[in-house]
Amino acid sequence: MTAAIIDGKAFAAKVRAQVAAHVAKLTADSGIVPGLAVVLVGEDPASQVYVRSKGKQTVEAGMASFEHKLPAETPEVELLALVRRLNADPAVHGILVQLPLPAHINADLVINAIDPAKDVDGFHISNVGLLGTGQKAMVPCTPLGCLMLLRDRLGKLAGLDAVVIGRSNIVGKPMAQLLLADSCTVTIAHSRTRDLPGLCRRADIVIAAVGRPEMVTGDWIKPGATVIDVGINRIERDGKEKLVGDVDFASAVQVAGAITPVPGGVGPMTIACLLANTLTACCRANGLPEPAGLTA
């Protein structure tokens, strides 16, 4: 059996089109333009690329993009002051502080200074608590994207066995909360988990968010299972740089029922969900109905 390939690139384009259509109507009906502020501190090359594509896709969706690029040596108090200004700015509905921040800045302090209603990354402690207690939250973009792909592929997820490999605050933990809220039986695995292959072999859904190239091999996968590969790893193969996931695609595709490729799987969903979250935040701020199908 060869798995169906889950086309995250095409699905993300559909989400962006849905967001753009909703934004166009919102602006035509009420004059409101959703706005996303992205703050970048320092010159990390990967972060610069992310910020550039976030800004471009924000504008393409008809929203306002506000970019704040600060030097690496910016004092923490200055960054906190900027966050406070953005919290108070009515044109800004979403605020994203690009991580990682330079070592002299306390990232938790900065994230928790963002107005939770504008926290489109869903990392503020209030949103973490809301998600964990099944209340209306801003949901972290990458796990939200994975959930959309799973629902699209499987329909209702209730009763399915899911294994999430990785327990980070950004991916693993919120992913597990979302699957639990959809009534999956969820196991969170991590670096100290015993018999990870055996655990995965019992799962209907495997989410790999580890950061270890091609760790999950086909013999870990239950035949017909759905495999979502969050990993983005740069490796060198045959003298060339290559992007691979946490799943060994070549062997897993022979066993799984459906699988996301890397690149072109989860990756494009992250920015699409950021745009969706910004629109959701804007609708909530203005007491308007939220766009259907774009939230958890």
Stretch that binds ligand NAD, among 37-45, 79-87, 188-196, 197-205 (CB under 6 A): 188-196
Residue 201, interface with ligand NAD (CB under 6 A)?
A: no
Angstrom distance (rounded) from CA 268 to CA 12? 6
54 is catalytic: yes
Q: Quick one: which of 57, 74, 142, 295 contacts ligand NAD (CB under 6 A)? A: 142
Q: Quick one: which of 2, 191, 224, 250 contacts ligand NAD (CB under 6 A)? A: 191
Q: Quick one: which of 42, 132, 211, 264 contacts ligand NAD (CB under 6 A)? A: 211
Stretch that binds ligand NAD, among 17-25, 86-94, 155-163, 189-197 (CB under 6 A): 189-197
Residue 227, interface with ligand NAD (CB under 6 A)?
A: no
Residue nearest to ligand NAD (CB): 168
How many other C-beta atoms are found inside a 10 Å radius of the C-beta of residue 46? 11
Residue 9, interface with ligand NAD (CB under 6 A)?
A: no
Stretch that binds ligand NAD, among 61-69, 178-186, 209-217, 252-260 (CB under 6 A): 209-217
Residue 291, interface with ligand NAD (CB under 6 A)?
A: no
Site for ligand NAD in 82-121 (CB under 6 A): none
Residue 294 φ/ψ, nearest 5 degrees: -110, 0
The 10 Å CB-count burial string (b at 16+, else e) for 83-104 is beebbeeeebbbbbbbeebbee
Q: At what angle do helices 125-132 and 172-181 cross, to 10 degrees?
A: 30
Stretch that binds ligand NAD, among 19-27, 72-80, 187-195, 286-294 (CB under 6 A): 187-195
98 is catalytic: yes
Q: Quick one: which of 167, 207, 274, 280 contacts ligand NAD (CB under 6 A)? A: 167
Residue 122, interface with ligand NAD (CB under 6 A)?
A: no
69 is catalytic: no
Q: Quick one: which of 172, 174, 218, 291 contacts ligand NAD (CB under 6 A)? A: 172
Least distance to ligand NAD, CB of residue 201, Å? 15
Binding site for ligand NAD (CB under 6 A): 142, 165-168, 170-172, 189-191, 193, 196, 209-212, 230-233, 266-267, 270
Active site (catalytic) residues:
54, 98, 121
